[in-house]
Amino acid sequence: DAKTTQPPSMDCAEGRAANLPCNHSTISGNEYVYWYRQIHSQGPQYIIHGLKNNETNEMASLIITEDRKSSTLILPHATLRDTAVYYCIVRSIGSNYQLIWGAGTKLIIKP
Amino acid sequence: DVKVTQSSRYLVKRTGEKVFLECVQDMDHENMFWYRQDPGLGLRLIYFSYDVKMKEKGDIPEGYSVSREKKERFSLILESASTNQTSMYLCASSLGPTGQYFGPGTRLTVT
């Protein structure tokens, strides 16, 4: 069973910041939070991951709450090409690298 | 950039045929994975490999086998294809705990 909870869908206006929430209230101390997205008919794309601290890369920022029970993926200036299903996944580094995929959030960027 | 390629984007096979799906990655990643993705069921792990000639069963290995003779190549084999194996097949690779990088997928239809 997926260990994360995400809203099934969200809209965002083009050019605005898209903030995608994820609840992972049962996360344990050695589990990382990973974000992926899947654009229609393509393979999933890795976006970012983090443990405790906020992380930023060229694609997005990841904000993790202090208690680590939730996180937010931020796409700072959404474009139409960011329309995709976004998956939030928690995973232990010491595990066999399996990812438990939930249903994700369908993000629609509107012009 | 990491590149993961899959041998075919679309494949049509008949029931009972032996099917080979090949995946190649060019970043010297130690871990490789095969998933299938079906509407409403998300991504499900079939097999993974963390080293040459090593393999581990995922959640749904029945009806499939794998081969990893070289580090860069991971093959999925359907010994006798059945209609319930019609699906999108996705290959991924990763280096240790980093994010998994996916190929474009192979849409297999078994008639």
What confidence tens digit (pLDDT) does each residue in B47-94 have?
Answer: 999 999 999 999 899 999 999 999 999 999 999 999 999 999 999 998
User: Is pLDDT above 70 for A76?
Assistant: yes
Q: How far is A5 from chain B (nearest CA, A)?
A: 14
* Average pLDDT value for residue range B24-52: 91
Q: Which helix (H) or strand (E) holds A86?
A: strand A84-92
Q: Is B58 on the interface with A (CB under 8 A)?
A: yes
Q: Which helix (H) or strand (E) holds B25?
A: strand B19-25
Indicate which of B101, B102, B106, B107 best probes the interface with A, i.e. most A CBs within 10 Å of its own CB: B102
User: Is pLDDT above 80 for A2?
Assistant: no
Cα B55 to Cα A71, B23, B34, B74: the distances in Å are 33, 15, 11, 10
Q: Which residues, other chains included, contact B41 with Cβ-Cβ below 8 Å and sequence gap of 6+?
A: none
Determine how β-strand A61-64 pairs with β-strand A55-56: antiparallel
Q: How far is B110 from chain A (nearest CA, A)?
A: 19
CA distance B16 to A111: 48
User: Is pLDDT above 70 for A97?
Assistant: no
- Place A62 in a pLDDT band, splitting at 50, 70 and 90: very high
Q: Is B100 on the interface with A (CB under 8 A)?
A: yes
Q: Which of B44, B94, B105 sits opposite A43 (nearest CB)?
A: B105
Question: pLDDT value at position B41?
Answer: 83
- For chain A, the average pLDDT equals 91
